[in-house]
Amino acid sequence: MGRVFVTRRLPGDALKRLEAEHEVEVWPERLPPPPAELRARAREAEGLLCMLTDPVDRALLGAAPRLRAVANLAVGTDNVDLEAATERGLPVGFTPDVLTETTADLAVALMLAAARRLPEAEAAVRAGDWLTWEPDRLLGRDLHGATVGIIGLGRIGCAVARRLEGFGVELLHTSREGGTELEHLLARSHFVSLHCPLNPETEGLIGAEALRSMRADAILVNTARGPLVDTAALAVALTSGEIAAAALDVTDPEPLPSDHPLLGAPNLVVVPHVGSATHATRESMAGIAVANLSAALRGERMPHAANPEVYGLR
């Protein structure tokens, strides 16, 4: 039996399975443990089950000499210093292939919400500002028949493309294998949806120059990673009318402070990183994370390790 620290309570019954094998401490608060608390709790832990919001850096790993494995409740590992973990021989688990369809659903929902101005319309009803039917009020834009540019035709990008076939759209895409040049995609697309990974080449991909090259009636959708978009440039583009709207599930920084300039920009739909937020998907993610951690603590290979090379080092 090992000692495990879990940085947030998990949906479903995955924690019960973990507790049946190990001594488990769960951070009880809604907000993530502050860095000092995370270091203190990890210091005596053999296993760490963390979220994308928990920085598992070299300093934390160095302060946790008993740590044998890290399981990240996320498809990505942006929050984990994989190099430092691999040097220590620590496997780092992740939860791939589980949120593809759910995130694709949200991407299309955000397209429709921004295009049809649904948050603005719903707020008007609640404010009592629905006096009569007006022929020129709350006019939006059509998704059917539009040109949609998908940046990053991986698993989620392909799932979005499948959904959009029913809308009769013209699809453009960029990918590692080719597709449309980014400049051409931005210039032609009524909707631009981001599904590429975050890395040094893609950070700030949609900046001031890219936004200026987009159509004035374009809608930008981001369900991938916040730093793909230059937040300050997006605020300027929305305020000046360079693009028509944006719909975001992820931001930079995340979360956005309540007084952030982007939140004052017009024609913005923003939700709090809920791409995977369905009962089934989050429970599956929890199950995979627990399976990763349990296997590692038994001395077995993680089913889903982000740094499988550690097994070649042992």
Mean pLDDT over each residue of the chain, to the nearest integer:
96
Q: Does 200 lie in the same domain as 248? A: yes
**pLDDT reading at 163 higher than 60:** yes
The one catalytic residue in 25, 203, 254, 283 is 254
Q: Does 259 lie in the same domain as 151? A: yes
**pLDDT reading at 314 higher than 60:** no
Q: Does 260 lie in the same domain as 138? A: yes
As for how many domains the chain has, the answer is 2
The one catalytic residue in 3, 116, 273, 301 is 273
Q: Does 136 lie in the same domain as 10? A: no
Q: Does 141 lie in the same domain as 83? A: no
Phi, psi of 78 (to 5 degrees): -60, -25
- How confident is the model over 171-197, as pLDDT tens digits? 999 988 889 999 999 999 999 999 999
**How many other CB atoms are there within 10 angstroms of residue 213's CB atom?**
15
What does the alpha-carbon distance between residue 139 and residue 93 come to, in Å, rounded to a whole number? 46
155 is catalytic: no
**pLDDT reading at 251 higher than 70:** yes
Mean pLDDT over residues 10-36, rounded?
95
Q: Does 262 lie in the same domain as 203? A: yes
Q: Residue 77 to residues 16, 111, 112, 183, 199: CA-CA distances in angstroms?
A: 25, 27, 30, 29, 11
Show the tokens assigned to 94. 């992740």
Q: Residue 11 to residues 15, 64, 108, 289, 290: CA-CA distances in angstroms?
A: 8, 27, 25, 12, 12
Q: Answer yes or no: are the C-beta atoms of 194 and 221 closer than 8 Å.
A: yes
Q: Does 72 lie in the same domain as 115? A: no
Show the tokens assigned to 308. 């499988």
* Beta strands per DSSP E along 177-264: 178-179, 191-194, 219-222, 245-248
**Angle, to 10 degrees, between the axis of helix 14-21 and the axis of helix 279-297?**
20
- How confident is the model over 75-110, as pLDDT tens digits? 989 899 999 999 999 999 999 999 999 999 999 999
The one catalytic residue in 225, 242, 282, 304 is 225
pLDDT above 70: percentage of residues in the chain: 99
What CATH number did the domain enclosing 242 receive? Answer: 3.40.50.720
Mean pLDDT over residues 109-120, rounded?
98
Q: Does 251 lie in the same domain as 108? A: yes
Domain housing 133: 100-270
**pLDDT reading at 313 higher than 90:** no
- How confident is the model over 125-140, as pLDDT tens digits? 999 999 899 999 999 9
260 is catalytic: no
Return the pLDDT at 312.
82
Phi, psi of 208 (to 5 degrees): -60, -45
- How confident is the model over 259-297, as pLDDT tens digits? 999 999 999 999 999 999 999 999 999 999 999 999 999
Question: Quick one: CA dihedral 17, 104, 220, 154, positive or negative?
Answer: positive
Q: Does 231 lie in the same domain as 105? A: yes
225 is catalytic: yes
- How confident is the model over 213-230, as pLDDT tens digits? 999 999 999 999 999 999
**How many other CB atoms are there within 10 angstroms of residue 199's CB atom?**
10
Return the pLDDT at 311.
93
Return the pLDDT at 176.
82
Name every residue whose Cβ is closer than 8 Å to that of residue 102 and which is 6 or more positions away in sequence.
275, 276, 277, 278, 280, 281
Q: Which residues of 2-23 are buried (b: 16+ CB within 10 A; e: fewer)?
A: bbbbbbbebbbebbeebeeebe
What does the alpha-carbon distance between residue 95 and residue 202 come to, in Å, rounded to a whole number? 22
**How many other CB atoms are there within 10 angstroms of residue 134's CB atom?**
9
Enter the DSSP assignment of 55. Answer: -
Return the pLDDT at 234.
98
Q: Residue 278 to residues 106, 160, 271: CA-CA distances in angstroms?
A: 10, 17, 14
Q: Does 223 lie in the same domain as 150? A: yes
Q: Does 290 lie in the same domain as 221? A: no
β-strand partners of 3: 23
- How confident is the model over 50-62, as pLDDT tens digits? 999 999 999 999 9
Q: Does 116 lie in the same domain as 184? A: yes
